[in-house]
Each structure stands twice: as C-alpha cells, then as structure tokens.
Amino acid sequence: MDTLSAARAQMGLSLGFHMIFAACGIAMPLLMVMAEGLALRTGKAHYLALARQWGKATGALFVVGAVSGTALSFELGLLWPEFMEFSGAIIGPAFALEGFAFFIEAIFIGLYLYGWDRLSPRAHWLTGLPVAFSGMASGVIVVAVNAWMQGPLGFELDAAGRAINIDPLATFRSPAWMHMAIHSTLSCYEAVAFAVAGIYAWGMLHGRRDAYHRSALHLAMVLGVVSAVLQLVSGDLNARDLAKHQPEKLAAMEAHFETSGEVPLYIGGIPDPETGEVRYALRIPYGLSLLVAHDPQAVIVGLNDFPADERPNVLWVHLSFQVMVGCGMILLGLAAWYWWNWWRPSSADPRWLWWGLVLGTPLGFLALETGWLVTELGRQPWTIYKVMRTSDAVTPVANVQVSLACFTVLYLGLAVAVTALLVKLGRTGRSVADGARQESDHGT
C-alpha cells in the first residue's frame, strides 16, 4: 500500500469510527432532554428513569467521541500537512468555534450527570438543554469546514499558489453549508433514533413490555419519524445544489455518463465506466430530470464531460449512494408502519413490527456512513475542490502504514471498551426499568 492509499485509509477509518460517536453526541442529549421534560410534565417515574439512563449513555459515548475526535485533529497535521499549510488560516476560526461548543457540551454534561440530587428538577432539566444544543452546533460547525472544501471561497492565490487576502468567515459563506449541515444533522438524529428504537424493541420481544420500554420506543420513534420525513426534503435540496456546484459528483452518484435531457433514474445497478452502461438496474424514465430540476425534459451534465483524471470513482460513489438511499427508504417505511400501528392499534401482538425495528437498528448508521462516503469520494481527486488534489495534500513521510496499524488497534480497543460499558449500562437499565414497572399498566 502506497503512502497516499494508507493515509486515505487511515483518515477514512478515523472518520468512520468518530462519526458514530459524533452522531450519538448530537442525538442522545436531545432524547434525554425529551424524557426528562416529560418526567417534569407528567410526574411519571419511568420518564425520569429513562433520562437518567440516557444521560449515563451520553456521558460514556461523549468520552469516546472526544478521544477519537482528538486523534482526528492530530491526523490532519500528520497525514495532510500540505492541506493544513494552505488552509489552516481559513478553517482555523471554524475549528476554534467548534472547540468552544465542545467545552460547553463537556461542562454541561458534568452538571447534568452530577446535578441530579443537587439541583432543583427544573434547573437540572435546563442544564441538559445546552448539551443538546452544543452537540448539534459542534456538528454544524465542523460541516462548515467540509462544505468549504467542497466549494472553496474567501481567498486569493499569490504567484506561489498560497492563499492570501483571506476572509476569516470564509468557511461560513459556502453555499453548500446549510444544505450539508441540515442533511448531516438529520442523519445523526435518524440513525440514533432508530438504533435506540431497535434496542427497546428487542427488550419488548423478550417480554419487557412495561411503561419504561414502551416510552423509550415511542420517544425514539417520534424523533425518528420527524427526521426521516424531513430528510426527504433535505435530500432533494442537496441534489439540486450538487447539480449547480458539483455536477460530476451528482453524475457519479446517479451513474449518468452522457449529458442529455429526459434522464432516467437508476435504482441499484452496477455502472461500467468503460462502456457507460449501468447493468442490473431498475430504470425509471425521466426520473433524474424530475428530481433534480422538477422538469422531465431537463438536461443533466454527464460524467464524460469532465477530464478522466477529474472524475470520481463512479462505481463506489454510485453504490454508496444506493445503499444510503435504500437504508433511508427502509427506515421511512418502518416509521410509517410504527405510526400506523400506533394510530390504529390492533389486538394482534405487533411482534413483526418489533422484529422490523430490531433488524433496522444498524441501518441509520449504515446510511450515515455511506452518505459521507458519497460526500468524500464524490469530491475526489480533490481535497479542496478544483484547488488542491489529494495526492498533493498528503504527507511526504513514508511508513504511514505503521500509523494506520496503530490507529486501527486504538479504535478496536475503544470499540471493545465502549461496547462492554454499554452492555453493563444496559444491564443496570433492567433494574431501573423494574423500579418503574408499577406504571406499566398506565400507558405512556
């Protein structure tokens, strides 16, 4: 494995690992605040038990996310020194703001976890609100940096190719930022909500059908269905933005090779960049033109309009996009099934629904990971779009393979540790649920 491949593999591994905990840091605080808010409103013990349990999970996941995020910050300098030399002054303000959001989150997580018996119920609930807000804000700010890499602006180049006349707010002026931030944040809420729903559906399949489990499942599905529905709108806006600013990425996502109108939409399929064909796909006439421009006659730029050395890997981008969309549609179907069952409950045991939610547990995270694969692979061969190639940004130092091996061991160790911690927390959660079982006959 050459240096470039090893550096990309290490960065991909680190981002993929960190993304799971970043998503939990965004969504879990919102769930815990929702549960405690209902406890204050209704006085029901099982909501308070949920808030305590979800608060502990948030704290544990926050610690691992902090470790993996710190490793990522080191990797930017170690693996991509040319990128940091060029863009450090541009993206620095955004990372500084993200640091403020991180510290606010850390401070208020401490207040939340240790304030249960030291603050009034209302004051304690209020300490959870900054955790939920700063977790979301941290993700939005980091996405601003990525959006700038997708569409760089706010600087000029001198004769040596260095950035000068830098706008300190350049990262927040990218036209893609808001679209990407909304889409990414909703993805985090959706992934975590369905994962939580699957965990409690598993408990219900094993006979734990008390108010604690029913309420946990219901709260998770409230967040899941709202984010899943809004994600449809967000995805539509993102597609139209890509058509304007990164047409080659859109073409790779949709395996569209020749510029034309009346462009079909492919469901599935394996693209062949040599022939421009998409084999084994379901073809929907006019579908892509309608989705991108809301016009069946609209002309969509094809991948062959771009130089061969500036095209993304169409196979990986298209397949990742198909997995992302497929997972999203399955989760949307599960959300519709759940709410239909809630709106018109039947006397039948909804075990099939619970099994569906259990099987859907990883799909949100799979959609999140493949969505970011689309974002990053679709930008290649550029680190900074149309400004710096990835091959020019990588470190000249050899033996990156050793670093890749070390970080792989680190992440495996962290994964084992956090899994063991969450399993132990789940076991203690059973006794917490038993303590609130007296409310199991009163509904949610």
313 confidence band (pLDDT: 50, 70, 90): very high
How much is the pTM? Answer: 0.90
Which pLDDT score is estimated for 344?
73
C-alpha of 274 from chain center: 33
Question: Average pLDDT of 176-188?
Answer: 92
Whether residue 211 is predicted with pLDDT greater than 50 in this model: the reply is: yes
Please compute the mean of the pLDDT values over residues 306-328 and round it to a whole number.
93
Predicted confidence at residue 402, as pLDDT, reads 86
**What pLDDT sits at residue 227?**
93
User: pLDDT value at position 368?
Assistant: 94
Residue 186 has a pLDDT of: 94
pLDDT at 26 over 60: yes
pLDDT value at residue 334 = 93
pLDDT tens digits, residue range 126-168?
999 999 999 999 999 999 999 999 999 989 888 888 888 999 8
- pLDDT digits 0-9 by tens, 370-403: 999 999 999 999 999 999 999 999 988 888 888 8
Contact (Cβ atoms closer than 8 angstroms) between residue 254 and residue 235: no
Q: Would you say the C-alpha torsion 383, 385, 391, 393 has a positive or negative sign?
A: negative
Q: What pLDDT does residue 208 have?
A: 83
| Contact assessment for residue 312 and residue 380, using Cβ atoms and an 8 Å cutoff | yes
pLDDT value, residue 66: 84
The pLDDT of 192-199, averaged and rounded, is 94
What are the pLDDT digits (tens) for 227-247?
999 998 888 888 888 888 899
The percentage of residues in the chain with a pLDDT greater than 70, rounded to a whole number, is 95
Pair 317, 381: CB distance under 8 Å: no
Per the prediction, the chain carries an average pLDDT of 88
**Would you call 444 exposed, middle or buried from its count of C-beta atoms within 10 A (0-12, 13-18, 19+)?**
middle
Query: Once rounded to an integer, what is the mean pLDDT over residues 91-109?
Result: 91
- On the question of pLDDT at 361 being above 80, the answer is yes
Instruction: State the Cα–Cα distance between residues 325 and 371, nearest whole angstrom.
Output: 9
Q: Give residue for tokens 């591994």.
A: 13
**pLDDT of 33:** 95
Question: Is 50 exceeded by the pLDDT of residue 439?
Answer: no
Q: What is the pLDDT of residues 405-436, one digit of tens each?
A: 888 888 888 888 888 877 777 666 555 555 55
Predicted pLDDT of residue 412: 86
| CB 234 within 8 Å of CB 186 | yes
Which of the listed ranges 199-208, 325-334, 406-415 does the model predict with the highest average pLDDT?
325-334
pLDDT at 413: 84
Label residue 123 by pLDDT band (50, 70, 90).
very high
pLDDT, tens only, 44-71: 999 999 999 999 989 888 888 888 888 8
Q: Is the dihedral of CA 13, 147, 243, 185 positive or negative?
A: positive
Name the nearest CA neighbour of 433 among 203, 260, 173. Answer: 203
Diameter of the chain by CA atoms?
Answer: 75
Tell me: pLDDT of 443 over 50. Answer: no
